[in-house]
Amino acid sequence: MTKKNYFSWVNKRLGFFTLLIVLMWLKNMLAYTLDFHLSLENALQHFILIINPIATTLLLLSVGLYVRRKKPAYITMMVIYFIMTTLLFSNAVYYREFTDFITINTMLGAGKVASGLGESAIKLFRPYDILYWIDFILLVFALATKRIKMDETPVRARMAFAFTTLSVMIFSGNLFLAESDRPELLTRTFSRDYLVKYLGINAFTAYDGVQTYKTTQVRAQASATDMDEVAEYVKGHYAKPNDQYFGLAKGRNVIYIHLESTQQFLIDYKLKDENGVEHEVMPFINSLYHSNSTFSFSNFFHQVKAGKTSDSETLFENSLFGLNQGALFTQLGGKNTFEAAPNILKQTQGYTSAVFHGNSGTFWNRNETYKHLGYDYFFDASYYNVTEDNSFQYGLNDKPFFQQSVKYLEHLQQPFYTKFIAVSNHYPYSQLSGDETGFPLAQTKDETINSYFSTANYMDTAVHEFFDYLKQSGLYDNSIIILYGDHYGISNARNKELAQLLGKDRDTWSNFDNAQVQRVPYMIHIPGMTQGKIIDTYGGQVDALPTLLHLLGVDTQNYIQLGQDLLSPDHKQLVAFRDGDFVTPNYTYYGGVLYDNKTGEEITEPSEELKKQIDADKDAVSDQLATSDKINNGDLLRFYTKSGLKAINPDDYNYLKNTDRIEKIEKELGDKSTSVYSKHNHTSTTDKYQTKSYQELHPKETSSSSSNENK
């Protein structure tokens, strides 16, 4: 066979088309291997990654097959090929700097990105970048010099259609595999990394385009009049602060500790091991819960939906709800105007703000959203030493996380507003290994439930160690430390199995019980204060911000917040779930059914009076949720001026060189610097951090089972 014959298929339209697909696939693999870091956890994810460029490449290039005339057909294919290459290449270069993918919004503001990068853009190029382009250049050359001949014969329309159909089928298969590995991928859109990992760069860009279009439409229709209605609603629901507590923590540092997936039933819980010996799951957090320096809430509910962790953040930072579908952080977080806690505290009280989290900054679109919330710094996984041994799929384990955070914390100017997002107590709860194992497993048929307690115990020790550091470094006395659970850790589908551990019967477990276990811890610890107690007021995450601001002595009357101070005498005890269900001290409305809290029984025939009351509650809940949606979907806060806050310019924020920035500020301030580091005569406090493994703390136990000697 002569060389010419061997390659002659390239001279057919379908042959050329196939060649383009293969080359495009190779370039995707190049990007996946050398540029993108998409942590792959199992063989299926590897497989999905390998196939995910195929469907969209096939779909897009197949457009060229419908063009009958020779030249236009080839030009169409080459133009599409060029666009796909450009998209892939730009993402590869962008990723090298930002560890993130390019969204439609980023493209629209491309000038800003380019000027932000400046000279460094050139530095982002790599010698192997030629591989992204060489094929295109050679193909153009080969076509121009007729080394590849253009085929006169058009592809039959039916054949073209067959390829389009094939691409749709492959895409469906791809999506099916993706959803089976990561359920609700499209409805929850966890992170851009996930979308690319599962569906490829083209599909990600298209998906992002559709989302952007949708939100832009709603936003465009909203007006300042809508804002006036919202302001009216908020005014009517304002709960004035309690004089006794207003300003109790004025000027203190705020330290939020995000207790991942921690439900209230873990408080004071003692887990029985196989020998019937009880083990307190969270001894340290329990001690805070019962301390007279803590306002502990026993009827505090999470209010999140699909955005889970990020929804809880939305609620705590803004006193607004997440969205009814998907996650506000990913859909609107990078676009909207907010009047969030870090911004309020910065502009009114001079706080510096920072988030610490040992997962990739793109997860839940935090790297963009935090700018809009006004966070000065975001220390994501790139600031931590994360290894395979000290982390799992959602990031760094809690002990090294807190420990490694203090080298940044000590440089922050005080007062600061900070949030530490712990993550070890996250599904699947089986990530502890080596010296950290030893806490007994529960004895149910569900492994997820069984290991939930040991990761909660691990988290408890991590928090304990962090508190010890706060005391050692002197930060403790001047801080207000708030611990909260973000949402359930055991889903409703598993609750029947959980029932036995809560002293309940699986057969009588009902939706009423499902509602009750949505309680999460909410504890406000104010060192030195002695009025602390366990408070049984019913409330939810939306109430946290006004509660905190009043403790800090900040007037909230002119802010658009949908919650009410939990310490206020005016607080209304009606807690909305995101889907319109609710709880009150007397009744629970869940799954569309009304229950009596005293008996847990369904109320099938409510009295006229009760019916009226419940209808009023339903309306109040739906008003609160609708107001939240109106604010968020319409981006209404951009019209609001009465708060007196200056609008945030997200471009002023950049989380890539936090360390340089905090140290520079410290130096510039000199004697005036209030950071812990400066206060300690410019010496680090990191050596004050003590950490011990479970095995070191419980040396008498073996790693496989626990003994009676455990305290």
Number of shown-chain residues binding Mn ion (CB under 5 A): 4
Report the relative pairing of strands 294-301 and 533-540 from DSSP bridges: parallel
The distance of closest approach from Cβ of residue 421 to Mn ion in the complex, given in angstroms and rounded to an integer, is 8
**Partner whose binding site includes residue 398, from ligand GP9, Mn ion, none (CB under 5 to 8 Å by kind):** none
Backbone φ/ψ region at 644: left (φ over 0), alpha (ψ -120 to 50), beta: left
Q: Which is nearer to ligand GP9, 186 or 222 (CB)?
A: 186
Q: Which is nearer to Mn ion, 364 or 476 (CB)?
A: 364
**Partner whose binding site includes residue 316, from ligand GP9, Mn ion, none (CB under 5 to 8 Å by kind):** none
Q: Which is nearer to Mn ion, 305 or 308 (CB)?
A: 308
Torsion of CA 49, 52, 54, 59, to 10 degrees: -170
The distance of closest approach from Cβ of residue 262 to ligand GP9 in the complex, given in angstroms and rounded to an integer, is 11
Indicate which single residue of 308, 372, 504, 519 sits in contact with ligand GP9 (rule: CB under 6 A).
308
The distance of closest approach from Cβ of residue 305 to ligand GP9 in the complex, given in angstroms and rounded to an integer, is 11
> Taking CB under 6 A as the rule, which mask of x and - marks residues 334-363 in contact with ligand GP9?
-------------------------x---x
Work out whether the CA dihedral 285, 287, 290, 291 comes out positive or negative.
Answer: negative
The distance of closest approach from Cβ of residue 689 to ligand GP9 in the complex, given in angstroms and rounded to an integer, is 23
423 binds ligand GP9 (CB under 6 A): yes
The distance of closest approach from Cβ of residue 3 to Mn ion in the complex, given in angstroms and rounded to an integer, is 60
> How far is residue 218 from each of residues 106, 214, 332, 625, 630, measured CA to CA in Å?
20, 7, 12, 17, 10
Tell me how far the alpha carbon of residue 349 is from its chain's centroid.
27
Contact region with ligand GP9 (CB under 6 A), list: 115-123, 419-427, 455-463, 467-475: 419-427
Amino acid letter, 44: L
Contact region with Mn ion (CB under 5 A), list: 206-214, 253-261, 373-381, 450-458: 253-261
Indicate which single residue of 465, 486, 635, 666 sits in contact with Mn ion (rule: CB under 5 A).
486
**Partner whose binding site includes residue 266, from Mn ion, ligand GP9, none (CB under 5 to 8 Å by kind):** none
314 binds Mn ion (CB under 5 A): no
The distance of closest approach from Cβ of residue 189 to ligand GP9 in the complex, given in angstroms and rounded to an integer, is 12
Q: Which is nearer to ligand GP9, 144 or 493 (CB)?
A: 493
* HSE-CB for 214 with a 13 A CA cutoff: 10
**Partner whose binding site includes residue 363, from Mn ion, ligand GP9, none (CB under 5 to 8 Å by kind):** ligand GP9
Backbone φ/ψ region at 702: left (φ over 0), alpha (ψ -120 to 50), beta: beta
> CB of 61 within 8 A of CB of 17?
yes
> CB of 575 within 8 A of CB of 298?
no
The distance of closest approach from Cβ of residue 260 to Mn ion in the complex, given in angstroms and rounded to an integer, is 5
Query: Residues near 49 by Cβ (< 8 Å), separated by ≥ 6?
Result: 32, 38, 40, 197
> How far is residue 46 from each of residues 22, 41, 50, measured CA to CA in Å?
18, 8, 6
Indicate which single residue of 32, 101, 394, 452 sits in contact with ligand GP9 (rule: CB under 6 A).
394
The distance of closest approach from Cβ of residue 487 to ligand GP9 in the complex, given in angstroms and rounded to an integer, is 7
Report which of 211, 176, 208 is spatially closest to residue 192, judged by C-alpha positions. Answer: 208
CB-based closest residue to ligand GP9:
308
Report which of 297, 340, 344 is spatially closest to residue 567, judged by C-alpha positions. Answer: 297
Secondary structure class of 267 (helix, strand, coil): coil
Contact region with Mn ion (CB under 5 A), list: 202-210, 277-285, 481-489, 611-619: 481-489
Distance CA(299)–CA(315), nearest Å, equals: 17
518 binds Mn ion (CB under 5 A): no
> Residue 480, exposed/middle/buried by CB under 10 A (0-12, 13-18, 19+)?
buried
Burial 384-401 (b: 16+ CB within 10 A, else e): bebeeebbbebbbbbbbb
The distance of closest approach from Cβ of residue 90 to ligand GP9 in the complex, given in angstroms and rounded to an integer, is 26
Query: Looking only at residues 64 through 93 of this chain, which bind ligand GP9 when binding is defined by CB under 6 A?
Result: none
Transcribe 331-385 into DSSP letters. HTTTT-----HHHHHHHHH--EEEEEESS-TTGGGHHHHHHHHT-SEEE-GGGS-
Give backbone dihedrals phi and psi of 369, rounded to 5 degrees, phi first: -60, -40
Q: Which is nearer to Mn ion, 308 or 464 (CB)?
A: 308
Distance CA(459)–CA(201), nearest Å, equals: 36
Secondary structure class of 305 (helix, strand, coil): coil
Indicate which single residue of 167, 299, 309, 673 sits in contact with ligand GP9 (rule: CB under 6 A).
309
Q: Which is nearer to ligand GP9, 245 or 466 (CB)?
A: 466
309 binds Mn ion (CB under 5 A): yes
End-to-end CA distance of the chain: 82
The distance of closest approach from Cβ of residue 215 to ligand GP9 in the complex, given in angstroms and rounded to an integer, is 21
**Partner whose binding site includes residue 372, from Mn ion, ligand GP9, none (CB under 5 to 8 Å by kind):** none
**Partner whose binding site includes residue 52, from ligand GP9, Mn ion, none (CB under 5 to 8 Å by kind):** none
Report which of 48, 26, 304, 44 is spatially closest to residue 195, judged by C-alpha positions. Answer: 48
Contact region with Mn ion (CB under 5 A), list: 479-487, 505-513, 647-655, 679-687: 479-487
Q: How many CB atoms lie within 10 A of CB 529?
A: 18
Query: Looking only at residues 260 through 279 of this chain, which bind Mn ion when binding is defined by CB under 5 A?
Result: 260
Catalytic residue among 309, 352, 418, 588: 309
Q: Which is nearer to Mn ion, 205 or 330 (CB)?
A: 330
Q: Which is nearer to Mn ion, 260 or 339 (CB)?
A: 260
Number of shown-chain residues binding ligand GP9 (CB under 6 A): 9
Q: Which two tokens stand for residue 163?
A: 């390829």
Work out whether the CA dihedral 150, 154, 159, 162 comes out positive or negative.
Answer: positive
Q: Decide if 309 is catalytic.
A: yes
Catalytic site residues? 309
The contact set with Mn ion (CB under 5 A) reads 260, 308-309, 486
The contact set with ligand GP9 (CB under 6 A) reads 308-309, 359, 363, 394-395, 421, 423, 426
